[in-house]
Structure 1
Amino acid sequence: MSRRCFSTAAALAAASLAAPSLRAQGRIEKPRIALAVGGKAAFYYLPLTISEQLGYFKAEGLDVEISDLAGGSRALQALVGGSADVVSGAFEHTINMQAKNQFIEAFVLEGRAPQIAMGVSTKTMGSYRTLKDLKGKKIGVSAPGSSTNMVANLVLSRGGLKASDVSFVGVGTGAGALSALRSGQIDAICNTDPVMTMLEQKGDVKIISDTRTLKGTQEVFGGPMPAACLYTHADFVKNNPNTCQALANAIVHGLKWLQTAGPSDIIKTVPENYLLGDRGLYLASFNKVREAIAIDGLMPEEGPRTALKALASFEPSVKPDKIDLSRTYTNEFARRAKEKFKA
């Protein structure tokens, strides 16, 4: 009997000690979040849209206000300028910023391939043969400095061209991009889906580089290339761990849903204007990029190294020996979210 009493007392004592800790883990430091994204209608950010539309952020106790900007570089500027707490954007920005001695950290992955394709206009470049034909031409990207710009730079560098050999034009990731290419305002385009599939299927472009599949990404980058993720200042992650955990939970919940979602589920969930007036082509685009969407929010070990190698190949300011990749991301929050949702 005395042993039982002692065991009960010990258990109660342990519970009383653990209770404050458990409460601390559940308390969200910043329930209202300003989140910036550049081109939210693109499949690149589909996990963000799904998590928002299905109420997964609210389910985690968050009030997330999403600002949709012209491109990823604008979203990054919002974070640096203080008008955004968190960005849904390309992972490589964490490396670029560290090269400028500013530390931002990715904490949940949305895409495991860039889902970016580059094509030349069949209208203005019908005689295209090699990358050198792009010298002096206008290339449309979502926004200067964005991930689409980065992929375009990488493709050009492999043809012996520098960024200064062409003119980059910001065209967004929606109807404006379609119009710019079809009207002849640009000679080539590097963009995401559904824009690229729509241009491709209508015969408006000839695809010359494609990272919408894992195989295509391997061919272009030589390894796994992380794409969209949630990132923020390293200090924000340190000071708001429960908030970051809630955000990661919501995204991984969305990724889990996407694993089994059918075409009709997608159509019912995304806003009507994301379809760009053609449901069939939108779904064709989704099928093309589906494998590029992250599964569980975890950053693959080789991914950051691939990104660093790619950036260093055309960006002189990025010195591989000066970049600490361990400070560009953490899998701590995604790992817990994966366990929670069995993703």
Structure 2
Amino acid sequence: MILRRTMLGAALAGAMALSLSPASAADLEQSSITLGVGGKPLLYYLPLTIAEQKGFFEEEGLDVAINDFGGGSKSLQALVGGSVDVVTGAYEHTIRMQAKNQDIRAVIELGRFPGIVLAVKKDLADQIKSPADLAGRKVGVTAPGSSTNFFVNYLMAKDGADPQQAAFIGVGAGLSAVAAMQQGEIEAISNLDPVISKLEADDDIVVLADSRTEAGTEAIFGASIPAAVVYMKNDFIEANPNTVQALVNSFKKALDWLATASPEEIAEVVPAEYHLGNEELYLRAVAASQETYSRTGIIPPEAMQASFDMLKQFDPELASAEFDLDRTFTDRFVTAAGN
């Protein structure tokens, strides 16, 4: 686990206190929160990095400690275990937890398309022509049980194959994932940008499924599917509504900024190490992913249903689960953001 404090941190603590009115700071039930994420450098989580680097958390009176885990499933485990307060992760996790009678809810949508790509090693493209051909193959995902894993599970099940017949290997979300493919440790990969754009630029892969655009997402799922969200236990929401509102305000500012920012402006804001050693490549990856970010922060009901329908394709427990899907997301904070 790597612990990162929000930029500016203690150096601006005094200035932050002066910039906030005493009333606004006092309104927060807790000003220090811990956030879990699985693969922060991924463009999937770009709104988090923007909120951090642009100082939007500080503007709302928050001191956010970010724990960057190897994948989304590990962030969820940290939330359930109590070591983080909130998570920036895949919406699908809220569905799975509600089905297990654990009241975990999303409070803002960050991504309206998954942005996940399934690709195979180029010299195996004549053998692995569809997701069904992944049976018996080594497939790299950010972490087993994460959204990148769900993506392959769904595609294999859709093609009539059993996802359990594939060997899923956690390769992370940065250069470790690139190296795993280039060194032959895996035969296929389900990952996101900038990892995918790096492998494409190096001519290492052939893409089988691409959800970085609305057209690509609808071709795969038949509808838009919510991706990254901010989620937490409902007990935390009820006990800390002002803190949650400040957090949602911060992320909404990030989404609004991203809606008009150029790839060059984005590249200037994120840490240089996120470029994977090639800023030009990163700019192309950003341009390819900009369509994925939410415009409103609100998950449409039909998108929630589409995500549930997708999960049921390969998870027999969800196929028979009974719960209120509306409990997976509340729009009360996004609606109030900026007001």
Common fold: TM-score over 0.5: yes
Specify the alignment match of 1:115 in structure 2. Answer: 115
Structure 1 alignment gaps of length 5 or more: 1-22
Question: For residue 63 of structure 2, what is the amino acid of its counterpart?
Answer: D
Q: Does the aligned pair in 1 maintain the 2:125–2:206 contact within 8 Å?
A: no
Partner of 2:301: helix, strand, or coil?
Answer: coil
Question: For residue 53 of structure 1, what is the amino acid of its counterpart?
Answer: Q
- State the Cα distance separating 1:161 from its structure 2 match: 1.4
Q: Does the aligned pair in 1 maintain the 2:79–2:232 contact within 8 Å?
A: yes
Question: For residue 293 of structure 1, what is the amino acid of its counterpart?
Answer: Y
Specify the alignment match of 2:133 in structure 1. Answer: 133
What percentage of aligned pairs have identical amino acids? 44
**Residue 258 in 1 paired to residue 258 in 2?**
yes
Distance 1:319 1:158, change over 3 A: closer
Mapped to 2, the partners of 1:66 and 1:287 lie a distance apart of 26
Partner of 2:152: helix, strand, or coil?
Answer: helix
User: Per-residue displacement from partner, 1:90-115 (whole Å, max 9, x unpaired)?
Assistant: 00100001111111000011100100
Q: Does the aligned pair in 1 maintain the 2:33–2:65 contact within 8 Å?
A: yes
Pairing of 1:11-90 with structure 2 (within 5 A): 27-90=27-90
Deviates more, 1:155-164 or 1:82-91: 155-164
Specify the alignment match of 2:13 in structure 1. Answer: none
TM-score computed with the length of structure 1 as normaliser? 0.89
When the two structures are aligned, how many residues end up with a matched partner? Answer: 317
Structure 2 alignment gaps of length 5 or more: 1-22
Question: For residue 209 of structure 1, what is the amino acid of its counterpart?
Answer: A
- State the Cα distance separating 1:320 from its structure 2 match: 6.0
Specify the alignment match of 1:310 in structure 2. Answer: 310
Mapped to 2, the partners of 1:319 and 1:154 lie a distance apart of 13
Q: Name segments (4+ residues, structure 1) moved above 4 Å.
A: 23-26
Distance 1:25 1:179, change over 3 A: closer
User: Per-residue displacement from partner, 1:189-235 (whole Å, max 9, x unpaired)?
Assistant: 00011111211232211110111111111111111211101100011
The structure with the largest alpha-carbon Rg is: 1
TM-score computed with the length of structure 2 as normaliser? 0.90
Partner of 2:139: helix, strand, or coil?
Answer: strand
Partner of 1:107: helix, strand, or coil?
Answer: strand
Mapped to 1, the partners of 2:67 and 2:126 lie a distance apart of 38
Deviates more, 1:99-108 or 1:196-205: 196-205
Specify the alignment match of 2:10 in structure 1. Answer: none
Q: Give RMSD over aligned pairs.
A: 1.5
Question: For residue 153 of structure 2, what is the amino acid of its counterpart?
Answer: N
User: Per-residue displacement from partner, 1:133-187 (whole Å, max 9, x unpaired)?
Assistant: 2221000000000000000100111221112111000001100000000111000
Specify the alignment match of 1:232 in structure 2. Answer: 232
Partner of 2:40: helix, strand, or coil?
Answer: coil
**Residue 207 in 1 paired to residue 207 in 2?**
yes
- State the Cα distance separating 1:129 from its structure 2 match: 2.6
